[in-house]
């Protein structure tokens, strides 16, 4: 019994796992868990992941959740994975671990809070919250500044000046892609001051083509739906 990946492609960390597997020719079965339909709260899925979150994997009889733990496990377990994703060299690996750890309370918290409270909440049965969105946006912006200043110094193609992407690049850029569902002008205002961030996102997209585009397909569909709903409410003057 091969690798099963339980995912919702609307979930940023789910997308990172799927793209990683496809890029590295890891055979897997994608099992869709639709968050908007509450499928993560079924007793069946709770047996897979008691935290009731995606992504989660089963490899043989081994179950695992938390996307960074999954990425590390896949990188170390499958011989087809190229070294640049999660290098064997201890100091290179530690630097990537550092970014992955920092991510939780910084970029992820900021971006998720902002996107959820300004755009996505209604799709999940919650209401928007402008104040929470604003706090998220502050943390998002300061996180983007830090990424720029520390990890993308001097025309880096990828984080840490690496010539090829690591699991940190993939995880963080998938997070940033969630901004696609926010109002387009708002999104532009957030990213406009950050040329290095935009270049870096393009580099990751290109390096993981065509899987990146294909896996993000659902996000563009949701974006279109939300935009049309916003236009109906307040048509552009």
Query: Footprint of its own copies on this chain (CB under 8 A)?
Result: 50-51, 62, 64-70, 72-73, 76-77, 90-91, 93-95, 97-98, 100-102, 104-105, 108-109, 146, 149-150
* Closest approach of its own copies to the CB of residue 112, in Å: 10
* Closest approach of its own copies to the CB of residue 232, in Å: 35
Minimum CB distance to its own copies smaller for 53 or for 203: 53
Minimum CB distance to its own copies smaller for 67 or for 222: 67
Minimum CB distance to its own copies smaller for 96 or for 133: 96
Residue by residue, DSSP assigns the chain as --EEEEE-TTSHHHHHHHHHHHHTT--EEEEE--GGGTGGGSHHHHHH-TT--S-EEEETTEEEESHHHHHHHHHHH-TTS-GGGS-SSHHHHHHHHHHHHHHIIIIIHHHHHHHIIIIIGGGGT----HHHHHHHHHHHHHHHHHIIIIISTTT-SSGGG-SS--HHHHHHHHHHHGGGGS-HHHHHHHHTT-HHHHHHHHHHHHHTTTHHHHHTHHHHHHHHHHHHHHHHHS---
* Closest approach of its own copies to the CB of residue 104, in Å: 4
* Closest approach of its own copies to the CB of residue 178, in Å: 16
* Closest approach of its own copies to the CB of residue 55, in Å: 12
Minimum CB distance to its own copies smaller for 40 or for 223: 40
Minimum CB distance to its own copies smaller for 62 or for 220: 62
């Amino acid at each position: 019994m091969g690798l099963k990946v339980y995912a919702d492609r609307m979930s940023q960390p789910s997308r990172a796992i799927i793209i990683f597997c496809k890029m590295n020719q890891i055979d897997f079965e994608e099992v869709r868990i639709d968050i908007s339909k509450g499928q993560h709260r079924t007793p069946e899925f709770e047996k897979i992941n008691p935290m009731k979150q995606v992504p989660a994997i089963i490899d043989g009889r081994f179950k695992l959740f938390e996307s960074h733990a999954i990425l590390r496990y896949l990188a170390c377990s499958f011989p087809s994975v190229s070294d640049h994703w999660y290098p064997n060299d201890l100091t290179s690996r530690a630097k990537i671990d550092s970014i992955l750890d920092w991510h939780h309370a910084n970029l992820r918290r900021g971006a998720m809070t902002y996107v959820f409270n300004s755009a996505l909440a209604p799709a999940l049965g919650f209401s928007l919250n402008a104040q929470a969105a604003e706090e998220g946006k502050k943390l998002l912006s300061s996180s983007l500044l830090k990424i720029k200043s520390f990890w993308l110094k001097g025309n880096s193609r990828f984080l840490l000046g690496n010539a090829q992407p690591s699991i940190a690049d993939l995880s963080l850029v998938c997070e940033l892609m969630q901004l696609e569902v926010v109002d387009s002008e708002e999104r532009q205002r957030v990213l406009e001051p950050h040329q290095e961030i935009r270049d870096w996102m393009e580099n990751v997209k290109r390096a993981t083509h065509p899987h990146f585009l294909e896996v993000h397909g659902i996000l563009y569909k949701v974006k279109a739906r939300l935009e049309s709903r916003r236009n109906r409410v307040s048509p552009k003057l």
